[in-house]
A = this chain, B = another copy of it.
């Protein structure tokens, strides 16, 4: 599975497009600037405004890091199992393990609500560049400019929120060359309709993750509700009636998280040498802790399952990125492009004056930031209780400040989403909390060193495990009402609280804030301003037309269903149910290739030749998980759930020589719902929707 997007990573890993020309199918385009000319030229197809509007409104963002789409007029949404696994796990218990057994709601009336879920639908976008950049005066320092921008953005969002009653986000595009205001319809009553067994959603497990050929039914169905009723969703994607053909043009509408395709070489080298190794250190450390916890018993294994999957995924993704950055040939090509661009700047007095020492500024800022990068690990991650405690400690302080000087996640426009997560009823397991918090404190200590003031202040003479055990066992925060009471009590209540987890969060907070201030004001602010200048030079040199880097907001990309060379032959662009049974049998039906009993039992009913997964060249990245794959007719032909191993380089360089996005085929989904899961009502809803859409658009 492609990694779920992290908005944080999207904000930190900066990027700027300066490639010209871009390869054939590269690009994640905004819906207000679709690749109409490219499509017309390459495929003789131009999507109409109606087509674009319907697809935009059918596409949704799952706010814990993925994408999805409406597939019926009654609010039925499809996403990936790995995007929805948090909900599935939170609805599970020791007695009812829906991750292991799968889940099918007996009837529409019984669909259970996902705790703390939020899904967004993009209603409108507007250009607010002039207003945001107008707040920055020429003689401001980097930090002051940053503060001014942030304040203006907060004001814009707040005004919009008040006016529309919707979620409003200002999105930085082209690395600060452009700011757009996105207005979202927000669904917070999201209920689970169907999930297959994790074993088939993630068939092949960690070994097959990020690879193709693949055999995963990585889907889950949800329904959006309002006022206790399924929402009407007239803009939905009807399931296509036939599988995609080789060479067919397909689209992907989703929320790619972040790319760094046009970072400077200095940034890529720092990413390669410092950032990714740190990320791997962290992911491997937490994974080891969770695996050790999972080995303590079957219930622990069940509880840790979703997080282990996510961490294995991250480990493989970061390793793939490291491999891409260590590919000397690709890096040399990248360096040559930067060299040519800089020579062009040098040859043009106007560009030269504009850019000045921006490349050097970026390099120096990254170098400065790298020295303290290990402190990124200081924060409120590692346990759900600590996460809640950290939110509470900051909430009562931040919300007292004027909106425009608050930490980003506490601005008025973001508060509702934050509260939705804070009051979530998702279960909290003390033993797992202790394991995770212990690991977190150990990892920080190992990275920043035992002599670091953070370690002295937070641990003192105690071991990480002692601190974690004491904070978890004494905390009342596992009850959402206790969290609500502290928020209600405000700063006084929080300051007076003797809850040990609140105390721990209070101890951590100054160090986390100090590092964040350093990273934002002393590192990122300089980079942002320099990027802006480099980006302007790029526009001046090469013109516009290319899409901005990914920002976990709605984008449209396109490509074709296409085989690719591998291991001496051609990898066919699809797999079938035959392939699923082959891979299972070839591995002795064991480990990650164990076929769920339901599939083995349905052998005779299954049409084995039905396509299960297919690949295409549409540009995707982490966060695209769950994006609908759409044909020219605007029908749902599949759902993106991964990229192959070669696509991991797409964080930094797009190439469709071998890199491919991987989708579950719509026909394979119907085949399983019908002949494995007997999901009669769901199939009827999908085929009725299909028939209705057929009548509406003949």
- On A, residues with C-beta under 8 Å from B are 204, 207-212, 246, 316, 320, 566-570, 572-576, 578-579, 581-583, 585-588, 593, 608-609, 611, 644-646
- Least distance between A346 CB and chain B CB atoms (Å): 34
Question: B residues within 8 A CB of A320?
Answer: 568
- Least distance between A326 CB and chain B CB atoms (Å): 14
Task: Tell whether, in the assembled complex, residue A567 and residue B246 are in contact, meaning their CB atoms are under 8 Å apart.
Answer: no
Question: B residues within 8 A CB of A208?
Answer: 569
Q: In the complex, which of the residues B209, B567, B579, B587 contacts A212, with contact meaning CB atoms closer than 8 Å?
A: B567
Task: Tell whether, in the assembled complex, residue B567 and residue A567 are in contact, meaning their CB atoms are under 8 Å apart.
Answer: yes
Task: Tell whether, in the assembled complex, residue A582 and residue B585 are in contact, meaning their CB atoms are under 8 Å apart.
Answer: no
Q: In the complex, which of the residues B210, B588, B644 contacts A246, with contact meaning CB atoms closer than 8 Å?
A: B588
Question: B residues within 8 A CB of A645?
Answer: 567-569
Kindly name the residue among A207, A568, A585, A611 whose own CB sees the greatest number of chain B CB atoms within 10 A.
A568
Report how far A212 CA is from B570 CA in the complex, Å: 11
Q: In the complex, which of the residues B212, B569, B574, B582 contacts A576, with contact meaning CB atoms closer than 8 Å?
A: B582
Task: Tell whether, in the assembled complex, residue A566 and residue B569 are in contact, meaning their CB atoms are under 8 Å apart.
Answer: no
Question: B residues within 8 A CB of A585?
Answer: 576, 578, 608-609
Question: B residues within 8 A CB of A588?
Answer: 246
Q: In the complex, which of the residues B210, B568, B574 contacts A586, with contact meaning CB atoms closer than 8 Å?
A: B574
Question: B residues within 8 A CB of A209?
Answer: 569
Task: Tell whether, in the assembled complex, residue A582 and residue B586 are in contact, meaning their CB atoms are under 8 Å apart.
Answer: no
Measured CB to CB, the nearest residue on chain B to A577 is: B582
Task: Tell whether, in the assembled complex, residue B609 and residue A568 are in contact, meaning their CB atoms are under 8 Å apart.
Answer: no
Task: Tell whether, in the assembled complex, residue A576 and residue B586 are in contact, meaning their CB atoms are under 8 Å apart.
Answer: yes
Report how far A593 CA is from B611 CA in the complex, Å: 16
Question: B residues within 8 A CB of A207?
Answer: 569-570
Kindly name the residue among A320, A574, A578 whose own CB sees the greatest number of chain B CB atoms within 10 A.
A578
Question: B residues within 8 A CB of A204?
Answer: 569
Measured CB to CB, the nearest residue on chain B to A246 is: B588
Question: B residues within 8 A CB of A575?
Answer: 582, 586
Task: Tell whether, in the assembled complex, residue B211 and residue A568 are in contact, meaning their CB atoms are under 8 Å apart.
Answer: yes
Report how far A585 CA is from B582 CA in the complex, Å: 13
- Least distance between A560 CB and chain B CB atoms (Å): 16
Q: In the complex, which of the residues B246, B567, B579, B644 contacts A579, with contact meaning CB atoms closer than 8 Å?
A: B579
A581 with B568, Cβ < 8 A, contacts A586-B574, A586-B575 known: no
A608 with B581, Cβ < 8 A, contacts A211-B568, A568-B645 known: yes
- Least distance between A578 CB and chain B CB atoms (Å): 4
Question: B residues within 8 A CB of A579?
Answer: 578-579, 582-583, 586
Question: B residues within 8 A CB of A608?
Answer: 578, 581, 585
Measured CB to CB, the nearest residue on chain B to A583 is: B572
- Least distance between A514 CB and chain B CB atoms (Å): 40
Report how far A211 CA is from B570 CA in the complex, Å: 10
- Least distance between A319 CB and chain B CB atoms (Å): 10
- Least distance between A532 CB and chain B CB atoms (Å): 37
A609 with B587, Cβ < 8 A, contacts A568-B644, A568-B645, A569-B207 known: no
- Least distance between A218 CB and chain B CB atoms (Å): 16
Question: B residues within 8 A CB of A593?
Answer: 572
Report how far A522 CA is from B566 CA in the complex, Å: 44
- Closest A-B pairs by Cβ, 8 of them: A568-B645, A579-B582, A578-B582, A572-B586, A211-B568, A585-B609, A211-B569, A578-B581
- Least distance between A591 CB and chain B CB atoms (Å): 10
Question: B residues within 8 A CB of A572?
Answer: 583, 586-587, 593
Question: B residues within 8 A CB of A644?
Answer: 567-568
Report how far A211 CA is from B576 CA in the complex, Å: 20
Given contacts A207-B570, A585-B608, 5 further A-B pairs with CB under 8 A are: A207-B569, A320-B568, A572-B586, A574-B586, A586-B611
Question: B residues within 8 A CB of A576?
Answer: 581-582, 585-586
Task: Tell whether, in the assembled complex, residue A566 and residue B568 are in contact, meaning their CB atoms are under 8 Å apart.
Answer: no
Report how far A578 CA is from B208 CA in the complex, Å: 19
Report how far A644 CA is from B587 CA in the complex, Å: 19
Report how far A646 CA is from B567 CA in the complex, Å: 8
Task: Tell whether, in the assembled complex, residue B609 and residue A567 are in contact, meaning their CB atoms are under 8 Å apart.
Answer: no
Kindly name the residue among A208, A210, A246, A570 whose own CB sees the greatest number of chain B CB atoms within 10 A.
A570
- Least distance between A2 CB and chain B CB atoms (Å): 13
Could you list 22 A-B pairs, sorted by A, with CB under 8 Å? Answer: A207-B570, A209-B569, A211-B568, A212-B567, A320-B568, A567-B646, A568-B644, A568-B645, A569-B645, A572-B586, A572-B587, A572-B593, A573-B586, A576-B581, A576-B582, A576-B586, A578-B578, A578-B579, A578-B582, A579-B582, A579-B586, A585-B609
- Least distance between A664 CB and chain B CB atoms (Å): 15
Report how far A575 CA is from B582 CA in the complex, Å: 7
- Least distance between A561 CB and chain B CB atoms (Å): 12
Report how far A579 CA is from B593 CA in the complex, Å: 14
Task: Tell whether, in the assembled complex, residue A210 and residue B609 are in contact, meaning their CB atoms are under 8 Å apart.
Answer: no
Question: B residues within 8 A CB of A566?
Answer: 567
Report how far A578 CA is from B585 CA in the complex, Å: 9
Report how far A211 CA is from B266 CA in the complex, Å: 40
Report how far A583 CA is from B583 CA in the complex, Å: 12
Report how far A115 CA is from B412 CA in the complex, Å: 89
Report how far A646 CA is from B566 CA in the complex, Å: 12
Question: B residues within 8 A CB of A609?
Answer: 581, 585
Question: B residues within 8 A CB of A212?
Answer: 567
Question: B residues within 8 A CB of A573?
Answer: 586
Q: In the complex, which of the residues B316, B567, B583, B611 contacts A211, with contact meaning CB atoms closer than 8 Å?
A: B567
Report how far A583 CA is from B316 CA in the complex, Å: 27
Measured CB to CB, the nearest residue on chain B to A205 is: B569
Task: Tell whether, in the assembled complex, residue A210 and residue B568 are in contact, meaning their CB atoms are under 8 Å apart.
Answer: yes
Measured CB to CB, the nearest residue on chain B to A593 is: B572
Report how far A503 CA is from B210 CA in the complex, Å: 64
Measured CB to CB, the nearest residue on chain B to A323 is: B568
Measured CB to CB, the nearest residue on chain B to A566 is: B567
- Least distance between A571 CB and chain B CB atoms (Å): 8
Report how far A587 CA is from B569 CA in the complex, Å: 13
- Least distance between A349 CB and chain B CB atoms (Å): 43
- Least distance between A3 CB and chain B CB atoms (Å): 15
